[in-house]
Amino acid sequence: MAGRTARNGRQGRRTSSWAVRAAAAAACGTLALTACGSTKDTGGSSTGGDGTGRVGVILPLLTSPFWQSYNDYVPKMATSEGVDALKTVNSNSDPSQQITDINNELNQGVKGLVVAPLDSAAIQAGLDQAERKGVPVVAVDVAPDKGKVAMVVRANNVAYGEKACDYLGRHITSGKVVQIMGDLASVNGRDRSEAFRSCVRKKYPKLRVLEIPAKWESDTAASKLDTLLNANPDIKGIYLQAGGVYLAPTLQTLKSKNMLSTAGRAGHIVIVSNDGIPQEFDAIRKGEIDATVSQPADAYAKYGIYYIKAAMQGKTFTPGPTDHDSTIVKLPNGILEDQLPAPLVTKDNVDDPKLWGNTVK
């Protein structure tokens, strides 16, 4: 995430198209997706009928291109799976509201929940409520610190920070680089920040990392970047942990200081982002930024629905490789996480039609 972003008009975040597989392999039982291998079920009773029921889908926010795209994908994926998904609910960047939204969905009698947590710790209250009512939950984008979920559908956020570090390290020999961090209340913000910091320290010691804690808030990022650049006009690189939140204010701030030089020209600041939204792709084509990690909004929706259907049917999963180019891992807290692919996008592959950011308007 992710994580929280852009309250009351603040600009939010995020906007590989994955073709939906039409038929299941025999080992997948009644599931209509071919996610076997380590994703095949290990038994369990159905909730009745084909195991489906009404599903609630709770969004963290809708002010970001990424979550707007995810929201558009949800009903399409639900229809392809024969899942009765209620209209999505927007928690509007408020962790407390998200707990209320979970309770409201439970009171409507949903048989499953797909939730994108705003706060890795605070979400436990909602997860506990769902467990008491026997309703399985799949977490998307953010892993909870505690609480029961059937699966976390998420890309490897440690890899995000490492990919950004390696790109900057290969293109900048020495000097100052900035990472504009997400909310450290979210495991995403923590993973990306520490991975980037650790990678630079170990592999590119001639780089000096300056940090801006911005809580997924665009105005906070803009204000703090402006102040930092006043004191450090010799910045050579920037890592944006969420392009949907930080791209526009970063480019605007650099432009206002006459520091926005395109790639290949003198004074260019190398910028790597995260999200894979169309706006980032356009900025790469223009040479304003250099790369982004494409976080799969389409696959988040697809496999969020896939796993909640499986959970309602009583199916369970084991760690290991899947048949959709991902790996299920067991997190330190015992929760299983399907770590989906998130490719690095540069000028060399920015026009790849398989990237979800090239399939949305």
Inter-residue contact 56 to 108 (CB < 8 Å): yes
- The strand pair at 336-340 and 327-330 is best described as antiparallel
> Quick one: pLDDT at residue 65?
86
pLDDT of the residue at 28: 36
On average, the pLDDT of the chain sits at 88
Identify the pLDDT of residue 360: 84
Q: Whole-angstrom Cα distance, residue 60 to residue 278?
A: 20
> Locate tokens 């989906």: which residue?
340
Under 8 Å between Cβ of 101 and 128: no
- Give me the pLDDT at residue 52, please: 66
The fold of 26-154+296-344 is Rossmann fold (3.40.50)
- Closest among 72, 75, 68, 96 to 12, alpha carbons compared: 68
**157-294, which class in CATH?**
alpha beta
Per-residue model confidence as pLDDT tens digits over 200-231: 999 999 999 999 999 999 999 999 999 999 99
Q: Taking each helix axis from N to C terminus, what angle separates 243-256 and 218-231, rounded to the nearest 10 degrees?
A: 40
> 3-state SS of the chain?
CCCCCCCCCCCCCECCCCCCCCCCCHHHCCCCCCCCHHHCCCCCCCCCCCCCCEEEEEECCCCCHHHHHHHHHHHHHHHHHCCEECCCEECCCCHHHHHHHHHHHHHCCCCEEEECCCCCCCCHHHHHHHHHCCCCEEEECCCCCCCCCCEEEEECHHHHHHHHHHHHHHHCCCEEEEEEECCCCCHHHHHHHHHHHHHHHHHCCCEEEEEEECCCCHHHHHHHHHHHHHHCCCEEEEEECCHHHHHHHHHHHHHHCCCCCCCCCCCCCEEEEEECCHHHHHHHHHCCCCEEEECCHHHHHHHHHHHHHHHHCCCCCCCEECCCCCEEEECCCCCEEEEECCCEECCCCCCCCCCHHHCCC
Phi/psi at 84 (nearest 5 deg)? -85, 90
Span(s) in the chain for CATH 3.40.50.2300:
26-154+296-344, 157-294
Asked if residue 137 lies in contact with residue 112, where contact means CB atoms within 8 angstroms, the answer is: yes
Q: Tell me the residue length of the chain.
A: 361
Strand partners for 328: 320, 338
- Residue 272: both structure tokens together: 């790597």
pTM score, whole prediction: 0.81
Q: How far apart are CA 46 and CA 171, in angstroms?
A: 53
Query: Which segments of the chain have a pLDDT < 70?
Result: 1-52, 361
Closest by CA position to 229, among listed 250, 201, 208: 250
pLDDT at 91: 97
